[in-house]
Copies of this chain bind each other. A is one copy, B any other.
Amino acid sequence: MSRVTIKDVAREAGVSPSAVSRVFTTGASASPLTRERVLAAADRLGYRPSLLARGLVGRSTHLVTVIMGSLSDPFDALFLDALARALAARDTRLMIASTAGGAPTESGLQQALDYKSDAVIVAAGTMSLADSALCARAGLPVILAGRALEAPGVDGVLADNADGGRQAADLLMRTACHRPAYLGLGKTTFSDRERWQGFADTLARLGAKPAEWACEGRDPEAAFRAASAVLSAPHRPDGLFCSNDAVALRAVEAARALGLSVPEDVSIIGFNNLPQAAWPSFQLSTLDYPIGSLVGAIIDLLDTRLADPQRSGEVRRLPVHLVPRATTRRADVGVPASAVRPVPINPEAL
């Protein structure tokens, strides 16, 4: 019930509170004798500095807030776990701020501010320029994960989404898909748009016009419903690029439920390379986007930003690479992409 404070330790060690503080501050001056005495006293009493008090007066709370979505996508869950561990390794704790769908990040940012977080990592929701201005004014570093914002001092990490879209388009063309389509999460999702763009642009250069579909809503079943709709539409696509594996996996399910063969009737490509994508039941072709590199970049950006709060914002693009598995046909038996003349169709929906 009664916390051991710095005063208790000071008394026990026969020194001043300042001395105790210095012993517990890396890089502060304390004589070996003082250090030894303080450490011994602290150990005897079971003292640990209050990070609340430290945070109030010092420059760091060792606290970072992350704004996250529902965690129903395994990618988000694995990302969160990896992030928490990487931060812990540098002695920083992670606080969660939940947001749903494309909702504003505002309340999450307020939460970060309320606790004087060292930084906020935005991995869900939509951030406005007003939001970033608020953070700038408060001296709160912002790191965007999977999104970008043209704002001073805001750092970001993203997959090379457009290139992923390009690789997906190439594979579909090389494996002789004639009716390519895209199934995304909706226009408000940043990465989704880039993936679509890279996909559509590449196909356009080849003279094809992919159909564009989107899940209605964010709940996990929405992807199944949307995929079912796509695959029962007239002019059913024979090649489907999904904005991520969570959607693609459900698309595979939907195809099977409709009695379609994958990849004979329809090829399916995801994004992220979730562990599940490699499961025997799916063997999903996808774009590998290592969570380790994402988290590594975030930590790196965080360290750099904290060392120099005034530097201008930096955006890192992380490469993705194709992992062809069993949900696409073998490319080596197909024709070169340039020789393909896909039949453009216009989607009924969207």
A interface vs B, CB < 8 Å?
A: 1, 3, 48-53, 55-56, 61, 63, 68, 70-72, 74, 76-78, 80-81, 84-85, 88, 93-98, 110-111, 113-116, 137-139, 220, 250, 252-253, 256-257, 275, 279-282
Contacts and interface: CB of A to CB of B under 8 A. Distances in A.
A81 to B, nearest CB: 4
A262 to B, nearest CB: 11
A139 B1 CA distance: 5
Given A71-B78, A77-B77, A85-B98, 9 more contacts: A1-B137, A49-B114, A50-B56, A52-B52, A63-B95, A72-B74, A74-B77, A220-B275, A281-B282
A52 B116 contact: yes
Contacts of A85: 98
A126 B111 CA distance: 31
Given A94-B96, A110-B48, A137-B1, A257 B275 contact: no
A256 B280 contact: yes
Contact of A115 (B51, B84, B88, B281): B51
A94 B66 CA distance: 11
A33 B32 CA distance: 58
B98 A95 contact: no
When A and B form their complex, which 5 residue pairs have the shortest distance between CB atoms, in order from nearest? A77-B77, A71-B81, A71-B77, A51-B114, A1-B139
Contacts of A88: 97-98
B97 A138 contact: no
A53 B220 CA distance: 40
Nearest to A70: B81
A256 B275 contact: no
